[in-house]
A and B are shown apart, each in its own frame.
Chain A
Amino acid sequence: MLFNSFEFLIFFIIIFIVYWLLNNNLRKQNILLLISSYIFYAWWDWRFLSLIIISSFIDFKAGSKIFASRTERQRKNWLLVSLIANLGLLSVFKYYNFFAESFADLMNIFGWQPNDLTLNIILPVGISFYTFQTLSYTIDIYRKQFEPTNDIISFFTFIAFFPQLVAGPIERASNLLPQIEKKRIFKKEWFNEGIIQIFIGLFRKIVIADTIGAYVDTIYGNVGLYNSTTIILATFLYAFQIYYDFAGYSDIAIGTAKLLGFKFNQNFNLPYFSKSLTEFWRKWHMSLSFWLRDYLYISLGGNRKGIKITYQNLMLTMLLGGLWHGSSWNFVIWGGIHGIVLSIEKYLKSNPNFTRTNGLSILGYPITFSIVLFSWIFFRSKDLSSAILAIKKIILFDFSVPFIGNYYLLINCIILLSIGILFDLYLFNKNIDLENFGAKFNMIKIAIITSIIIVLINLFYSTSNNFIYFQF
């Protein structure tokens, strides 16, 4: 069930009404959330519900056992159970074929051709997201930063909560679980914020991202056919397609949760307005980057074990972060590029000569954007050879007139993208978080703003593709 579908609209209206009618009974409310979350997920493929249930059950048990264990060894063992079970499921469903193919390719180099080792496995929607979410629970308990819940319904709801189930934000147990266990109160401000954020998210997704996507798909469908200008233009547009697609999804998720009385953490904060890649990662897919920082980078030792190990940890974190996005070398390289640049930034930051050149920091914006743009080539290309071909075509420096294709489509892309960027610039200049944007408006203003967005959506929405991050 997609957020931008008619089914979701009906589904959510029903849930919203019943949910608030049950406001005096927290347990019934949570059961409703759990059932509706499973229905939401089963709309894609009911068979994969079993994976979420298994994963939830293991971590519910593992969390309690870690907490109750008297010895460090027992605690570690139960943590291992959680890690092996969750990462095991993720590995089988997401990475098995990738590793099997890579192994076969490696063996080919040595002249041995193994039989086809790949399996016909379908990637369960959202597995990467809920795996990380559920792991945060057991790791936090292991680190004694969080106490387990005894309420299985609350815990299962925490894992499956439909606004963030399939594409995040990856909510930590420490933020979401206490909200599930506590009586929710309807707040007008949250209702206003939620409504506004949902409609802005919809606009970002189905108006901006999907319109841009039509042009990008044409070019990246066969990069070999196009000149340097066209590929650069398509990559530039893709940078905004993926941003508005994913940020739009997060907006709808955060807004939907707010209507139900939950506050998620911010997931995007105008990431292209960043002076460094370090800053970019504090603003892009924040729930993932902070997860990687807290549960991977720090677990590896972070920057506490000397400069060499710090760079090593940074690279490893980004490479695995890349692999998290998809089982392809493209994503690994994408993560690698970010890892290298982050390491360079870390080195420069520790260099006193560099820190004196702060006057040039304005150059950080275009430099950071260019690096991100370059890395998107790997992210968007369908395989490694296509990414290399795209780069080769750019390096040919054939800056003749770009391929236009559908003239009106490109005009639509440029105008709608301008609207998106101008709105982001407004938020950036005024230092406003979109999450709180709706709070300052009264009912009339909310209705007017929403109506304007509805009319704009009606006039400009594009045939919806899936949300890009669903594939991860």
Chain B
Amino acid sequence: MNTGSLKYIIKTILLILVISFLADKIVFITLNKISDKVYLGQRIGKINQYLEIKDDLDFIIFGSSRANHGVNPEILSKNSFNMGVDGTQIAYSAALIKLLPIQKEQVILLNIDTFNAFSKDYNGSDIDGLLVKYNRNKALKLEIDNLNQNNLIQNFYWSLSYNGLVFELLKNYFIDDSYDYKTYSGYDPIYVTKNQREIFKSIIKEEKSEDCKNNFTLNKIYRIKLREIKIFCKNNNKKLIIYTSPLFNDKCKDDNIQFSQIMKNEKLSYFDLTDFFKNNNSLEFWKDKVHLSNKGAEIFTKKIKKILDEN
């Protein structure tokens, strides 16, 4: 290869890097401006709302979609928020819990799904849901880096923070500017449609026997994050209550027993509510085997309230 060709390659690559870097920053800053005004949607709006109101809350619920759709915080406390987000687990919740203000008295209700807690494969990748704040919030960046869930390239191309979020962001920014986020409690009840009910019936009909786990070693990340949450709550005047949401028909009991034991050993306040609907079950309470309908959630929240009153 002659020098001319070599120069051409280097120049082209450098030019691509420079232009793409600048374009990336322009896009990133523009999307930040838009994003900061969005309070709709789970993946950006809800995080924005949480970051804005977290210091004033008395009661906060964390966990996956089972927490999000299953507990109505308004029944539990006037100054409350449900920070449950679809597909998230302990890493996501822990990162957000640790952003809570120090020394303010707050109650934290944390949903843990026992079948996830014993999973060998869980690697904390649910924290990716916070990548949108990666280049803007040092504490969250550290949490993501510590779990090795960072994308190396994101240090160069910051707009990766908005990967897969652009259309949702634009829709929420442009379509509904009358939305008043202050009235939103974070709870998203599921109103089951006739079609969804039929699908659920078909699923139950086709239900096969389940292979239950027989290895109950708590996932390493669950162990670490539970400890971190426990220490944070203890040092910062937070009351931590952990629970497991109901299942339509839980066929594997050993994971619940083992998890209860671990919680007991850790001296954590834990309530296993997997079988809450066992003796009084109805299809009306469910959207599917793991998610409660609005009707199920209302009944379940009353149970949570009772637990809180007793503790």
Contacts and interface: CB of A to CB of B under 8 A. Distances in A.
A451 B25 CA distance: 12
Interface string A438-466: 00000110111011101100111110000
Nearest to B125: A463
Q: Interface size bucket, A side? A: 20 to 34
A460 B15 contact: no
A195 B8 CA distance: 13
B174 interface: no
A444 to B, nearest CB: 7
A224 B198 CA distance: 12
Given A186-B5, A224-B206, A448 B19 contact: yes
Contacts of A455: 20, 23-24, 27, 157, 159
B16 A458 contact: no
Contacts of B1: 20-21, 23, 186
A27 to B, nearest CB: 17
Contact of B163 (A20, A191, A452, A459): A459
Nearest to B194: A400
A188 interface: yes
A459 B9 contact: no
Given A23-B1, A191-B8, A412-B167, A454 B20 contact: yes
B8 A459 contact: no
Given A6-B153, A188-B5, A225-B199, A460 B206 contact: no
Given A225-B202, A415-B167, A461-B163, A451 B19 contact: yes
B12 interface: yes
Nearest to A224: B202
Contacts of A23: 1
B interface secondary structure, majority:
helix
A188 B8 contact: yes
Interface in B108-166: 152-153, 157, 159-160, 162-164, 166
B16 A459 contact: no
Contacts of A6: 152-153
A431 B111 CA distance: 58
A449 to B, nearest CB: 9
Interface string A13-57: 000000011010000000000000000000000000000000000
A452 B19 CA distance: 9
A411 B168 CA distance: 9
Contact of B23 (A21, A415, A451): A451
Q: How large is the interface on B (under 10, 10 to 19, 20 to 34, 35 or more residues)?
A: 20 to 34
Contacts of B18: 447
A412 B152 CA distance: 25
Nearest to A184: B1
Given A191-B8, A458-B160, A447 B19 contact: yes
A443 B167 contact: no
Nearest to B206: A224
A70 to B, nearest CB: 45
A401 interface: yes
A460 to B, nearest CB: 7
Contacts of A451: 16, 19-20, 23
B298 to A, nearest CB: 25
B20 A459 contact: no
Nearest to B9: A191
Contacts of B8: 188, 191, 443
Given A188-B5, A412-B164, A455-B24, A195 B19 contact: no
B106 to A, nearest CB: 31
Interface in B162-217: 162-164, 166-168, 171, 195, 199, 202-203, 206
Among A224, A451, A452, A462, the one with the most B-chain Cβ atoms within 10 Å of its Cβ is A451
A444 B20 CA distance: 12
Contacts of B152: 6
Given A444-B15, A451-B16, A462 B195 contact: no
A458 B160 CA distance: 5
A191 B167 contact: no
A447 B168 CA distance: 29
A399 to B, nearest CB: 13
A408 interface: yes
Interface in B1-23: 1-2, 5-6, 8-9, 11-12, 15-16, 18-20, 23
The 8 residue pairs across chains A and B that have the minimum distance between CB atoms: A451-B20, A447-B15, A451-B19, A454-B20, A186-B5, A20-B1, A408-B168, A447-B16
Given A447-B16, A451-B19, A460-B164, 9 more contacts: A6-B152, A224-B202, A224-B206, A412-B164, A443-B12, A447-B18, A455-B20, A458-B160, A460-B166
7 contacts: A412-B167, A443-B15, A451-B20, A454-B23, A455-B27, A459-B162, A461-B163
